Chains A and B, each alone.
Chain A
């Protein structure tokens, strides 16, 4: 596929728009002065990510991401943050070290992901029956562990939050 064909490909244009949204919201999550807005932009990032999952062909995972991750987790963070007073942000004196680490990580990932240069990406059709079969037959133990983890976490979170402070 030529560069011109790629430029007028609707899914490629959608990818570019969503990618810009994802990068901008990631930056705002990290750098926005208000924690409430940071949590809000984490929700926007989650939506952008879900759209990217759908572009890759994983529509069920995209819906699950919106329902569980944004609907429960991000909303939980957002409402919890309203319980805290807005404190002035404290920064470590590590900005240069952080920038250098990020550069090294990016180079490392570029080397690893470099093998995918020019490799075609076919949006895959995931059969839900196959997904359910894998989950209940091949990965049943992981499913039980995940369910137990969620229950334990729920109890632990309530216990920690209701603990009497002396």
Chain B
């Protein structure tokens, strides 16, 4: 297969869509889902670049660790969302300012 640029363009397009959702939404879970689209785009770029490199296994190791850490961060974010919903009955990120201190 030719043209690594196709994979990288797809990754850039997905990253753009995720970034749009992250900036334009205020719902915490919607922002989390948009950030996950960004994560998927970053993983695709990482493995495409690893595939073009002389040592693809190193990219594979980084990808394995990244997927594990991503699962962990989803757990934390959803738990915070559950707590916020219990306290405020809303998921508006503007309400997070009142959580200070």
Contacts and interface: CB of A to CB of B under 8 A. Distances in A.
A23 interface: yes
A30 B48 contact: no
Count class of interface residues, chain A: 35 or more
Contacts, number: 257
Contact of B74 (A73, A119, A135): A73
Contacts of B92: 90
Contacts of B8: 109, 113, 116
Query: From DSSP, what is the main secondary structure of chain A's interface residues?
Result: helix
Query: From DSSP, what is the main secondary structure of chain B's interface residues?
Result: helix
A109 B94 CA distance: 30
A94 B31 CA distance: 14
Q: Which one of A27, A61, A95, A118 has the highest number of Cβ atoms from chain B below 10 Å of its Cβ?
A: A61
B13 A106 contact: yes
B76 A157 contact: yes
Interface of A: 1, 6, 9, 11-12, 15, 19, 22-23, 26-27, 29-31, 35, 38-39, 42, 45-46, 49, 52-53, 55-58, 60-61, 64-65, 68-69, 72-74, 76-77, 80-81, 83-84, 87, 89-92, 94-95, 97-99, 101-103, 105-106, 109-110, 113-114, 116-124, 126-127, 130-131, 134-135, 138-139, 142-143, 146, 149-150, 153-154, 156-157, 160-161, 163, 165
